[in-house]
Chains A and B, each alone.
Chain A
Amino acid sequence: MKINELATLKAESPDTLPSAERRNFLKIGLAVTGVYLGGTVLSLTSVVDALAEGPVPSSGKYPYSPHYTMVLREHLCIDCELCKEACVKTNNVPSYGYRTTILERRRDIVGGEKETIFMPVLCNQCNRPPCVRVCPTTATWKDEKTGIVVMKNSRCIGCKTCMAACPYNARYFNEETRAVDKCDFCWESRLSKGETTPACVEACPADVRVFGDLADHNSRVFQLLHTPGSIVWVLRPETGAIPNVFYTNA
C-alpha cells in the first residue's frame, strides 16, 4: 500500500478495538482516535493525563517540597469577601484587578427552590502552567522549590499572552507596575517573610481556605484530599494544567 492511499481510507470507529487494548495504549500515554484496515493501522494521539486516579496526585508524587496547595471547602463559602479585602490590602491589588475572587452560581434544588454556590478562585499554581509556557520573556516561571508560579515584573513586557493562556482567568495587568500581576500564595508578601499562610486563608472566617504542604502527610491539606469517601475536584481538568488548588465539600 502506498502512503498517500492511507489518507483516503475510511476510518473505523475506535470502538471496534477491544477496550483492554485501548487501555494498554492509554497506559503508555496514547489514545486511539482512528482504526484502519481492521486494526492493522491505528491513528494515535498523545494524552496528557490518562490515569484514572483523578485530580489528586498519588501519594509520593509531589514534585515540590514544600508542595504548596490550597484546598477550598466550597460549600462553606458565604462570599463575605474578607479574603479579597485581605488580599487587596496585603498585595496592593488595584480595584480593576484581582488575585482572588468569588464566583457565584445558582442551581435548582428540591422543593422548587434555588441554591447559591460561591466558588473562590485564584491562581491554581499549576504543575504544567500554560502561562509559563507562553511567556516570551520568561517573566513568569514555576519556582523550583515551592512550585509557586512567580512573576518578575522587570522582565514583563505586558504582552498579556499569559492572561489569555491562563485557564483560570487568574492574571490581570497592573497599570501601576506595568506588569501582569497574579496570586503567588502571598509568597512575596508573607511566606518569604516567615508567615505560614496566605492573607486570604488568615482572613477567612468560615475555614473555607486551607493552605499547606501536600507532601507532608500530617498537613491538613493532605488529610482533606485523602479523606476516605470524600470527593475532590479541580477546575478545568481537561486543560491538562494539573492545578494545585483543589475543591471539596468535606
Chain B
Amino acid sequence: MKKIVAIGFVGAILFSYLLISAADQPAVEQEPYDEDAYGPEALIVWNEPVKGVFFSHQLHTMEMGLDCESCHDDLFEMEAGAAEGQDDFTMAAMGDGMYCGACHDGSMAFDVNSQCASCHQQPEDAIVWTKPVKAVIFEHKTHSEDMGLDCESCHDDLFTMQAGAAEQADDFVMASLYDGLYCGACHDGSTAFASDTRCTTCHIGVRGYARLMGEAETPAHGAEH
C-alpha cells in the first residue's frame, strides 16, 4: 500500500510538472499520448537493487524526441523487470556507459552521478541497520528537508545508495565514526552532535526495532505475578 502511495506521490509531482510544461507550450502538449509511439504512459518503477527509481517514457520519447530504438533492445529489453534482474544494473555500470549511462554521460544528458533525485526517490521509511548491533535508524527526511542537505552530502562518498551496503562493511562501527567516516563526517561535535553523545537518538535498540516492525513487545516476566 505504502509503495502505491509513494508512486502516486511521485506521479503527482511529475504530472503537475507536465501540466506546467503544458501551460508553457499548449500547442505541442495537446497531442494525445500514444502508447504505441511513445511507450507505456505509466512510470517505470525499479525496486532493485534500490527501491524507488523512476523512468518516464513520455519525458524521453514524446518530449525529448527519442525513438524506441534509441534504447530498445540494445540498452534495455522491453520485457518488464528485465533490467532489475541483472547483476550489473548498478550505478557503477551506468557510469561505464551501460543502461541509462549510454546517454546520461554528462554531455548528451546529465551525468548519472548527478541529479540523483531526478530518478531516485528518497526513501520515505527510516533506514534501519541491524548490524553490527540491533538496531540503528536513519531518517532521510530529517537530514534533507529539516537540515537542508543534498543527496550528494552523503552519497556516494560516505554511503553508497545501495541498501545494506554499509552494514556489510567491517568498518561500519562507532570507532570509524569517531575517525570521521560514515555519519562521523558531520556528527563530529561541531557540524552536528558528536557520535559519542546522544546514543539513543539513532540507536533504537531491540525494543525500538520490534516496535518499528510491528511486533508485540516481549512480555516482562513481571506480568505473570
Contacts and interface: CB of A to CB of B under 8 A. Distances in A.
Nearest to A95: B218
Contact of B206 (A81, A96, A115): A81
- Place the interface of chain B in its size category: 10 to 19
B222 A78 contact: no
A144 B93 CA distance: 69
Contacts of B208: 79, 116
Candidate in B134, B198, B208, B221 with the most chain A CB atoms within 10 angstroms: B221
A130 interface: no
Contacts of B205: 78-81, 102, 104, 116, 118
Contact of A82 (B133, B204, B207): B133
A75 B199 contact: yes
A117 B200 contact: yes
B225 A160 contact: yes
Contacts of A160: 225
Contacts of A81: 134, 205-206
Given A104-B205, A118-B205, A205-B133, A78 B221 contact: no
Interface in B137-180: none
A164 B204 CA distance: 31
A115 B204 CA distance: 10
A98 interface: yes
A80 B200 contact: no
A37 interface: no
B199 A206 contact: yes
Interface string A6-19: 00000000000000
Contacts of B132: 205
A168 to B, nearest CB: 10
A25 interface: no
Contact of B225 (A98, A101, A164): A164
A79 B225 contact: no
A97 interface: yes
A78 B224 contact: no
Interface string A185-202: 000000000000000000
A80 B221 contact: no
A80 B207 contact: no
Interface of A: 75-82, 96-98, 101-102, 104, 115-118, 160, 163-164, 169, 172, 205-206
6 nearest CB pairs, A to B: A79-B205, A78-B203, A80-B133, A116-B200, A81-B206, A172-B221
10 contacts: A76-B199, A77-B199, A78-B133, A78-B203, A79-B206, A81-B205, A102-B207, A116-B205, A164-B225, A169-B220
Interface of B: 132-134, 198-201, 203-208, 220-222, 224-225
Given A78-B205, A80-B134, A96-B221, 19 more contacts: A75-B199, A79-B205, A79-B206, A79-B208, A82-B133, A96-B224, A98-B220, A101-B220, A102-B205, A102-B206, A102-B207, A104-B207, A115-B200, A116-B208, A118-B205, A160-B225, A172-B221, A205-B132, A206-B199
